[in-house]
Structure 1
Amino acid sequence: MTRDSRESLFISDLHLAPERPATIALLLGFLGGRAREAERLFILGDLFETWIGDDDDAPTYVEIRAALRELVAAGTRCALMHGNRDFLIGRGFCSDTGCQLLKDPAVLQLGQERILLMHGDLLCTDDIPYQRFRRRIRNPLVIWLFRRKSLASRRAIAANYRRKSGAATSEKSQVIMDANEDTVTRYLSRYDATRLIHGHTHRPGDHSMDLGGKTAHRHVLAEWHENAAEALAHREDAWYREPIV
């Protein structure tokens, strides 16, 4: 297998869980094959449907961590970002896998271009209830208290949260849950970037906009399903989408 030292791959929103074995199989095949051809892999949030702590010893998660560790050992650098589902990924996970944990937002320099990487939920500012919930649930005290609970308690809390989250999402309009264009512009300007890559909204697409006389680009990553997955790739100043099979 030949590695392209100039290629970067971007994925997000895999929502891996034990009850989604086909999606997990897609990822394992990707990590053992196509991802090893690239210099870098960026996972921009929601790798997992839920993450209750780095001490979760469910066999499914052990297998995924091993595959990430083998990818890094094979020479592909892997960086991941918290999503709204797996923001409890911590130093233990990164130490075990060799992955780098990115802040949200993070700036990536590719050649002469500054690229802004985000999970994407911070862009959905029209969804005011979610933004309030996000601030509350990410409070360091709330996280500390949650991590002190037993694995069984955390699993039960996470399962209940998933049920409530699904019900709440079904009642919201797609417009409210999409990225706000003014917010997108503000983030690009704040970080002096001309390209934004994010996931979260499950609305894959490539968009262009005027940013103070310059053309800026926004790439929305696709959600992974059991029979459909996609990566955004960059190589030699070209951007393209590639199906994962």
Structure 2
Amino acid sequence: MTTLLISDLHLHPGAPEIADGFLRYLEGPAREAESLYLLGDIFEAWIGDDHRGEFETGILDALRRLSDAGTSLFFMHGNRDFLVGDGFAEATGATLLSDPSVVELGGERVLLMHGDSLCTRDEAYMAFRAKARDPHWQAQILALPVEQRLALARDLRRQSGEANSTKAEDIMDVTPSEVERVMAEHDVRTLIHGHTHRPAVHELTVDGQAARRIVLGDWQPNRGWEVRVEPGLPPRLRDFPLRP
């Protein structure tokens, strides 16, 4: 059976083409797969499981239909949807994964990550990441009224955009030594992640052995990205049209 992995859709009501393409994906290719892994930043912002407008409810309902149809669904937090919790899992039938996680795909141990923790040269972001993943900080944010959380999400997106506009390109990419370190730590030869929006397959050496890092792309109004794992074949990165 096929396993699919995707990330960085950044779903929000202002990008209906991507949302519609994702819904078609859930009703089509994902229905034919044994498993679907969502590796973070599926939503542009997620301010808590208790806030579900019409848009969010439509996405959650579609994910539930997928899991009810027999496709195993897994979710890993990204830097945009780190507040996804047990309520989301219950509503969709998804299993929440820690970042990083090692899973077996096609008979091989594969390391899955969102990818932001690999960008260690971006010291300002790494400081924010440490705060945002702190359970106590998250509890404080979730205790705020919805309107305050919405405003905070808007501010964080604005600040992120302004900060990234002045950063060097290499700072926002992964640190090669960190990639090698984490792959060696988990004793794997394949790493799949998103976050950087730089889809590619990188060949490298880890502990003297050939290895590869597969980077998922971010979805655009006319194009999606996936890693497809089929029996007897190595993971394959591919893009595909979102429009019928």
TM-score calculated relative to the size of structure 2:
0.96
The CA deviation string for residues 91-125 of structure 1, in whole angstroms up to 9 with x for no partner, is 00000100111000000112442100000001001
Residue of structure 2 aligned with 1:80, choices 69, 75, 79 = 75
Q: Distance in 1 between matches of 2:42 and 2:201?
A: 21
d(CA) in 2 for partners of 1:242 and 1:170?
26
- TM-aligned CA deviation for residue 242 of structure 1: 4.3
Q: Give yes or no for the alignment of 1:97 onto 2:109.
A: no
| Partner residue, 2:240 | 243
The aligned residue for residue 119 of structure 1 is: 114
Preserved contact between residue 223 and residue 239 of structure 2 (Cα < 8 Å): no
1:126·1:177 contact (CA, 8 Å) conserved in 2? yes
- Contact 1:30/1:244 (8 A) holds in 2: no
User: Which of these residues, 101, 104, 109, is aligned with residue 106 of structure 1?
Assistant: 101
Give 3-state SS (helix, strand or coil) of 2:73's partner: strand
* Contact 1:44–1:198 under 8 Å retained in 2: yes
Q: 2:10 aligns with which of 1, 15, 31?
A: 15
The alpha-carbon deviation at position 139 of structure 1 amounts to 2.0
**What residue ranges of structure 1 are gaps of 5+ in the alignment?**
1-5
Label 1:239 to 1:137 Cα distance change in 2 as closer, same or farther (>3 A).
closer
CA deviations on 1:143-175 (whole Å, 9 max, x unpaired) are: 111111111111111111111111111111110
Count of residues paired in the alignment: 240
In structure 1, the residue corresponding to 2:89 is in which secondary structure? helix
Write the deviation string for residues 126-153 of structure 1: whole angstroms up to 9, x where unpaired: 1111101111222222111111111111
The aligned runs of 1:197-208 (5 Å cut-off) are 197-208=192-203
Unaligned runs of 5+ in 2: none
Work out the CA distance in 1 between the residues paired with 2:120 and 2:197. Answer: 16
Task: After TM superposition, list the pairs within 5 Å mapping 1:148-187 onto structure 2.
Answer: 148-187=143-182
User: Which letter maps to 2:14?
Assistant: E
- Corresponding residue for residue 129 of structure 1: 124
Query: Which SS does the other structure have where 2:41 is aligned?
Result: coil
User: In angstroms, what is the RMSD of aligned CA positions?
Assistant: 1.1
Matches for 1:196-235 after TM superposition, within 5 Å = 196-235=191-230
1:141 to 94, 112, 136: 136
C-alpha displacement at 1:243, in angstroms? 1.2
For normalisation by structure 1, the TM-score amounts to 0.95
CA distance in 2 between partners of 1:111 and 1:198 (Å): 17
Task: Among all aligned residue pairs of Structure 1 and Structure 2, give the percentage whose two residues are the same amino acid.
Answer: 45
